[in-house]
Chain A
Amino acid sequence: AQTVTQSQPEMSVQEAETVTLSCTYDTSENNYYLFWYKQPPSRQMILVIRQEAYKQQNATENRFSVNFQKAAKSFSLKISDSQLGDTAMYFCAFMNWDQGGKLIFGQGTELSVKP
């Protein structure tokens, strides 16, 4: 069975600085997707970034980028130029390529951006 581990329950960063959230996963599959979701205090789940395992290039979305290390089964999220609105819970999630609808989540990292 696949598992996702986020080893940092809480992190904080100063506004405008860079922070990296860690995620490791365990799978025997070769084709899969990885995601980072953001959950602000409103409780809404918002997709931040997505990575297909077959792509070697790391995904980027504006200030958000990932470091995908397939052999090490590591998928970290880097937030550059942190903003107060980035304060939220962040979840790493895994999905097998042929199992749409089945996300496996990590425990979450609560990020606080301080002014």
Chain B
Amino acid sequence: NAGVTQTPKFQVLKTGQSMTLQCAQDMNHEYMSWYRQDPGMGLRLIHYSVGAGITDQGEVPNGYNVSRSTTEDFPLRLLSAAPSQTSVYFCASSGGLPIAEQYFGPGTRLTVT
């Protein structure tokens, strides 16, 4: 049972490049989420999903796309990277109520130059 896995762990992009951050979970969780962590701001929700085929925007969705074709995977796409997207990205999953606890992946540190 690997829990929540994220790849890559580190990435450097040039402005304007695109890439996909991968996230997978093997706990059959219905809920999956993407957060970004910036100094002094805690974690902020980018997008989330309540099940395969269903996604919704969080607090800071601009510049990011998601899709959820399977229960296990929830990739985050950066369409045209900008320096403002330099951050640490976390993927999380949860089995929903009444447990509610979110399990987090190890994070991806992304630098956009």
- B71 interface hit (Cβ, 8 Å): no
Stretch at the interface among B13-21, B75-83, B90-98: B90-98
Residue from A33, A97, A100, A107 within 8 A of B41 (CB atoms): A107
Nearest neighbor of B47 in chain A, beta-carbon distance: A101
Within 8 Å CB of B32, what residues of A? Answer: 101
How many residue pairs bridge A and B at CB < 8 Å? 62
Task: Decide: A45 and B50 in contact? CB cutoff 8 A.
Answer: no
- A91 interface hit (Cβ, 8 Å): yes
- A104 interface hit (Cβ, 8 Å): yes
Majority DSSP secondary structure for residues of A touching B: loop
Encode contact with B along A44-64: 1 for CB under 8 Å, 0 otherwise.
Answer: 110100100000000000000
Task: Decide: B107 and A101 in contact? CB cutoff 8 A.
Answer: no
Within 8 Å CB of A45, what residues of B? Answer: 43, 90, 92, 104
Q: How many residues on chain A are close to B (CB under 8 Å)? A: 23
Task: Decide: B48 and A101 in contact? CB cutoff 8 A.
Answer: yes
Within 8 Å CB of B41, what residues of A? Answer: 107
CA distance A9 to B41 in the complex (A): 11
Residue from B43, B88, B101 within 8 A of A105 (CB atoms): B43
CA distance A104 to B49 in the complex (A): 15
Nearest neighbor of B49 in chain A, beta-carbon distance: A101
Encode contact with B along A22-49: 1 for CB under 8 Å, 0 otherwise.
Answer: 0000000000010100000001110100
A–B Cβ pairs within 8 angstroms, 11 of them:
A4-B42, A6-B42, A43-B88, A43-B107, A91-B42, A91-B43, A97-B97, A100-B30, A103-B33, A103-B102, A105-B44
A residues near B, CB below 8 A? 4, 6, 9, 33, 35, 43-45, 47, 50, 91, 95, 97-98, 100-108
B residues near A, CB below 8 A? 30-33, 35, 40-45, 48-50, 58, 88, 90, 92, 94, 96-97, 100-102, 104, 106-107
> Beyond A4-B42, A45-B90, A100-B94: 12 further Cβ-contacts under 8 Å?
A6-B42, A43-B88, A44-B107, A45-B43, A47-B102, A91-B43, A98-B97, A100-B30, A101-B94, A102-B48, A103-B45, A107-B42
